[in-house]
Amino acid sequence: MAEILGAFFRDYQSINSYVPIFIFTLVAFGFAGVTLVVALLVRPHRPDPAKLSPYECGIPPLMEAHERFSIRFYLLGILFLLFDVEAVFLFPWAVRYDYLGLFGFIEMMLFIAILLVGYFYAWRKEALEWA
């Protein structure tokens, strides 16, 4: 088992370029974690009902903050996801643009043009409007 996995990852050169990303992630999570933990250790902890209420010196809350989301978010979410997928297709094209040349350019323009039809349809149908 271990040998298979070892062979799996052996001699992979470009993985080294991911080391800064890994360190960056560690620092980011570490910063948040250390801040929270240190704050937890140093701060005084004397709660009372007024302090624990959402608005200590405001009007009392009328209902729960957890409310059902409007169905309109569904449309925005779906459209975001679809354009997200479209954007993913742009990355391999962009890194090999020099290799693909004009052919690849026209191809990608066609791809984007087809999706622009959907975009204008969404616009026309006022799917991007809130009201």
Q: How far apart are CA 43 and CA 46, in angstroms?
A: 10
Q: Which of 27, 53, 72, 109 binds another protein (CB under 8 A)?
A: 72
Cα 29 to Cα 17, 25, 32, 40, distances in angstroms: 20, 6, 5, 16
> Residue 127 Cβ, how far from another protein at the closest point, in Å?
5
Q: Does 74 bind another protein (CB under 8 A)?
A: yes
Q: Does 20 bind another protein (CB under 8 A)?
A: no
State the greatest distance between any 2 C-alpha atoms of the chain, in Å, as a whole number. 69
Which is closer to another protein, CB of 1 or CB of 57?
Answer: 1
User: If you ran DSSP here, which 8-state letter would residue 71 be given?
Assistant: T
E strand spans, the chain:
none
> What length is written for the chain?
131
By CB under 8 A, the residues from 75 to 114 that bind another protein are 75, 77-82, 84-89, 91-96, 99-100, 104, 107-108, 110-112, 114
Residue 80: how many other CB atoms lie within 10 Å: 11
Which is closer to another protein, CB of 42 or CB of 113?
Answer: 113
Which is closer to another protein, CB of 38 or CB of 116?
Answer: 116
Query: Which residues are CB-contacts of 56 (< 8 A; sequence separation ≥ 6)?
Result: 50
Which residues in this chain contact another protein in the complex, by CB under 8 A? 1-2, 4-12, 14-15, 18, 22, 66-69, 71-75, 77-82, 84-89, 91-96, 99-100, 104, 107-108, 110-112, 114-115, 117-119, 121-122, 125, 127
